[in-house]
Amino acid sequence: MIPKAEASSDSKEGEEKMRVILLGPPGAGKGTQAAEIKTKYKVAHISTGDILRQNVKEKTKLGCQAQEFMNGGKLVPDEIIVGMMGERLKEKDCEKGFLLDGFPRTVPQAEALDQLLATMNLSLDAVILLDVDDEVVVKRLCGRRMCRQCGEIYHVTFKPSSQGMRCEKCGGELFQRDDDKETVIRSRLKVYHDQTAPLISYYDEKGLLRKVNAGTSSSSVMAEIEALVQEKVAE
């Protein structure tokens, strides 16, 4: 059962909130599920990449600091990302809760997030792990094909084009992106496992981790997530 979040000082009594982290390897369907959760539960979907790009675009103080590191080909330090996250969580659309996607990625980032939430008198409800076998991920991603002209996405197994290797919409040639090649996918999976294994243990020890079988259909995965959410609401 998802533990009930502690009420923040500015919460309305009895108001339900959902503060969740979504974890999972590439190809697990995080983007699809995040969009469903955002729509159904009216919570903010917060992606690290999105807030980084927004801060850089708007030339905020943190955005300018991040840009310097990016221009030098360096990773943006955790303290800058956490600072951006803190500002983002203060925005109005986070009042009903939030869904973090792509953050944290490491235990130090998770510890920094804990400290940030504590200063805001907030706590996490759950960390949902979309659990899927590597071979399923490889099959999902290796089978993707993109139209060179309009960018439409197909899949050789799950969404084949009726026109063979041509796009149904514009007739453009379908091709496999470099990111969807098996060697690249397996390399990304190794990085994910190396980074995320300690993070999974960290949240498991805190009693926050909830595993969802992401090797099934998108609708089945969403049903599992909804069941977890309903358990929280029923508390």
Query: For this structure, is 42 an active site residue?
Result: no
Structure tokens at 6: 């502690």
Q: CB atoms < 10 A from the CB of 159, how many? A: 12
Query: For this structure, is 88 an active site residue?
Result: no
Given strand 209-213, what is the order of strands in its sheet? 44-47, 97-101, 18-23, 126-131, 209-213
Are residues 180 and 141 in contact, defined by beta-carbon separation less than 8 angstroms? Answer: yes
CA 78 – CA 166 distance, rounded (Å) = 44
Options 105, 166, 186, 211, the catalytic residue = 105
Query: For this structure, is 188 an active site residue?
Result: yes
Are residues 122 and 6 in contact, defined by beta-carbon separation less than 8 angstroms? Answer: yes
H-type helices in 25-163, by residue range?
30-41, 48-58, 61-71, 78-89, 107-119, 134-142
Query: For this structure, is 148 an active site residue?
Result: no
Query: For this structure, is 144 an active site residue?
Result: yes
Options 30, 88, 145, 210, the catalytic residue = 30
Options 17, 144, 145, 232, the catalytic residue = 144
Taking each helix axis from N to C terminus, what angle separates 48-58 and 78-89, rounded to the nearest 10 degrees?
Answer: 90
Options 159, 177, 181, 190, the catalytic residue = 177
Greatest extent of the chain over all pairs of C-alpha atoms, in Å: 58
* Active-site residue set: 30, 105, 144, 177, 188
